[in-house]
Amino acid sequence: MTVPTPIVAGNWKMNTDIAGGTALAAAIAAGVGAIVGVDLVVCPPFVSLAAVRDAVAGSGVSVGAQNMHADGNGAFTGEIAPPMLVGLCEYVIIGHSERRQFFGETDDSVGRKVAAAVAHELRPIVCVGETLSERESGNAAEVIRWQVTSALAELDAGDADGLVIAYEPVWAIGTGRAATPEIADQIMGGAIRSTMAAVLGLDVAAAVPLLYGGSVNAANAAEFAAVENVNGALVGGASLDAGSFLAVAVAFAGA
């Protein structure tokens, strides 16, 4: 069975202007040379995609968008369509919990966006994760299974080549309260991998990189890197500093 190459992706969220993002991307590109065996991805705001693409060109660092619409074009003021991202980035984050919480994204829209990303040969980084109340009521695994099933609803096994799934428990995002490696292992090795296997088949499921996200930093990355079913990280706050982002990547390179 194929063991996925680790991916460490930085979600810059609504931070950095074009100049600041370009500088951050250039600093990451300058430091990545010594890190082997891990794929780095930076996900700046839409307006900086072109500048960041140019800043990391030739470094091996990839670029991702943070969201997109499912349709190819149309009267959707303020939205970005998949074909508009082609040539700007290779990855696109889909269904981040902040999109679900603040912008009305649903399991259904996430499924449509994942299919649209695959159709345009963009690699979707699909985010799933339970809220604190879902965890406290004992429903975390069930919520995750449902989110993964919905996200993959329009795919078949042949579509899963570029797929990446990120487990980001909502209570761990931006709180400094990361999940424990045991929780990451239970959800990622259990609920996520087994749901994918049911939908896509065992071999395909085993090859999909699973990222942990939620308060990952230079100090705790190695704990997650040591977990068998954690194939990388989706990093928020700590990805806004080149040194700490690269340190997270080093932890996964050495795992």
Ligand X SMILES: O=C(CO)COP(=O)(O)O
**Measured from the CB of residue 113, what is the shortest distance to ligand X in angstroms?**
16
Catalytic option among 69, 90, 96, 98: 96
CB of 215 to ligand X, least distance (A): 4
Q: Please indicate whether residue 96 is annotated as part of the active site.
A: yes
Give the list of residues 6+ apart from residue 117 with CB closer than 8 angstroms, or none: 68, 82, 92, 94, 123, 124
Size of the site for ligand X (CB under 6 A): 14
Reduced to 3 states (helix: H, G, I; strand: E, B; else coil), residue 76 is: coil
Residue 203 Cβ vs ligand X, minimum distance, rounded to whole Å: 28
CB of 227 closer than 8 Å to CB of 184: yes
User: Where are the alpha helices (H) located in the chain, listed in sequence order?
Assistant: 18-31, 49-56, 82-85, 97-102, 107-119, 132-136, 140-151, 181-185, 193-200, 202-207, 221-225, 242-253
Kindly tell me which residue out of 48, 150, 215, 244 binds ligand X, with binding defined by CB under 6 A: 215
Residue 168 designated active-site: yes
Residue 248 CA to residue 253 CA, distance in Å, equals 9
**Which residue in 90, 105, 134, 168 is the catalytic one?**
168
- Using CB under 6 A as the binding rule, whether residue 95 contacts ligand X is answered as no
Work out whether 183 is an interface residue with ligand X (CB under 6 A).
Answer: no
Cβ proximity to ligand X: between 179 and 200 the closer is 179
Kindly write out the interface string for residues 13-52 of this chain, putting x where it contacts ligand X by CB under 6 A and - elsewhere.
Answer: ----------------------------------------
Contacts (Cβ under 8 Å, ≥6 apart) of 5: 37, 38, 39, 209, 231
From candidates 21, 64, 95, 237, binder to ligand X by CB under 6 A: 237
C-alpha to C-alpha distance for 63 and 28, rounded to whole angstroms: 12
- Residue range at the interface with ligand X (CB under 6 A); choices 113-121, 136-144, 154-162, 207-215: 207-215
Q: Which residues from 141-180 bind ligand X, rule CB under 6 A? A: 168, 173-174
CA-wise closest residue to 6 among 226, 240, 180, 239: 226
How far apart, in whole angstroms, are the C-alpha atoms of residue 82 and residue 52? Answer: 18
By the criterion CB under 6 A, which residues form the site for ligand X?
11, 96, 168, 173-174, 213-216, 234-238
Active site members: 96, 168
